[in-house]
Amino acid sequence: MRLDVLLVRAAQRLQAAGSPSPRLDAEVLLCHVLDVDRAWLFTWGDRESEPLVRARFEALVAARAQGMPVAYLTGEREFWGLSLRTHDATLIPRPDTECLVEAALTRAGAGAGACLDLGTGTGAIALAFASERPGWGVTGVDRSPEAVALARDNAVRLGLGRVRFLESDWFAALEGERFALVVANPPYLADDDPHLGQGDVRFEPRSALVAGDDGLADLHWLVNEARAHLESGGWLLLEHGLEQGAAVRQAFEAAGYADVATLKDLGGRDRVSLGCWPG
């Protein structure tokens, strides 16, 4: 069977299964099996597929039809132009989180400083920031040893081995350390949030998604605890849910931060709230 015919059939199957991007999913999976890019696929799609390639591809398509995230099936996802390895022990990096990276870079300037990424997962935020600010010291922490190992592997693969990754429950391993920037994409979904039963989220680690107090517990805790780890004039930046901006700003203001604001993502939705610690 020709590759282009194989793709059409796979896209039809994924569309019937409810995939939001059936053709793209099929192309990404086939490129993964063939170890080629999509340009190659467009150029040489009339070639015949080999039986082993077809079998591997159809197995991946079947898993995707059951809802398994493409990033877990291929073991990688692009974020900030960086190719990151992924694992089902971590959240899948998403384009909306690039808003958090942009906000951090805006407040970092071009000089030197120290940046901390809490709950680093794949290392996406820490590595994206480090790729743009080579003069900064960057640390990423996660309480999952699997996540820390994955982040370190991504750092080495990307030539960013200077980024420090530690196993730590939030600030636990960072006693006495202070940072000019602290960023985090913490759990912020309520336990009954309907998104937990939809799409890729169904397969991601629940501990990285759900927080108490209608999703606000970790956000409130970080606002308060980060003060002991921020330099005077340092910034705390937190990603949160689309309807949590007002509550997070209120927490920042109550904790004594200045210049509190909420930034919107590419879709024009509240995504990141931040504040400056006056010290």
> pLDDT by residue (tens digit) across 206-251?
999 999 999 999 999 999 999 999 999 999 999 999 999 999 999 9
User: Which domain CATH number covers 237?
Assistant: 3.40.50.150
Q: Mean of the pLDDT values across residues 109-137?
A: 95
- Phi-psi category of 175—alpha, beta or left, where left has phi over 0 and alpha has psi -120 to 50? beta
Encoded tokens for 157: 């693969």
pTM: 0.92
More confident residue, 238 or 195: 238
1: pLDDT confidence band, cut at 50, 70 and 90? confident
12: pLDDT confidence band, cut at 50, 70 and 90? very high
Which residue type occupies 57?
F
> Do 157 and 237 belong together in one domain?
yes
Cα–Cα dist 104/125, whole Å = 10
| Number of domains comprising the chain | 2
pLDDT of residue 111: 79
In a domain, 159, yes or no: yes
Query: Whole-number mean pLDDT of the chain?
Result: 95
- Domain boundary among the residues 37, 67, 97 is at 67
C-beta contacts of 221-225 below 8 A and 24+ residues apart: 221/170, 222/118, 222/170, 222/184, 222/186, 223/248, 223/251, 223/252, 223/255, 223/257, 223/275, 224/251, 224/255, 225/170, 225/171
> Do 247 and 161 belong together in one domain?
yes
User: Which domain CATH number covers 45?
Assistant: 1.10.8
> Do 22 and 157 belong together in one domain?
no
What percentage of residues in the chain have a pLDDT greater than 90? 90
> pLDDT by residue (tens digit) across 22-57?
999 999 999 999 999 989 988 988 899 999 999 999
> Do 195 and 253 belong together in one domain?
yes
> Do 133 and 254 belong together in one domain?
yes
Q: Mean of the pLDDT values across residues 63-85?
A: 96
83: pLDDT confidence band, cut at 50, 70 and 90? very high
- 109, pLDDT greater than 80: no
- Give the domain range for residue 267: 77-277
- 273, pLDDT greater than 80: yes
- 139, pLDDT greater than 90: yes
In a domain, 198, yes or no: yes
pLDDT of residue 258: 98
Residue pair 233/279 in contact by the 8 Å Cβ criterion:
yes
- Domain boundary among the residues 39, 67, 95 is at 67
C-beta contacts of 27-36 below 8 A and 24+ residues apart: 28/70, 28/74, 29/57, 29/60, 29/61, 29/64, 29/70, 29/73, 29/74, 30/3, 30/6, 30/57, 32/60, 32/73, 32/74, 33/57, 33/60
Cα–Cα dist 270/263, whole Å = 6
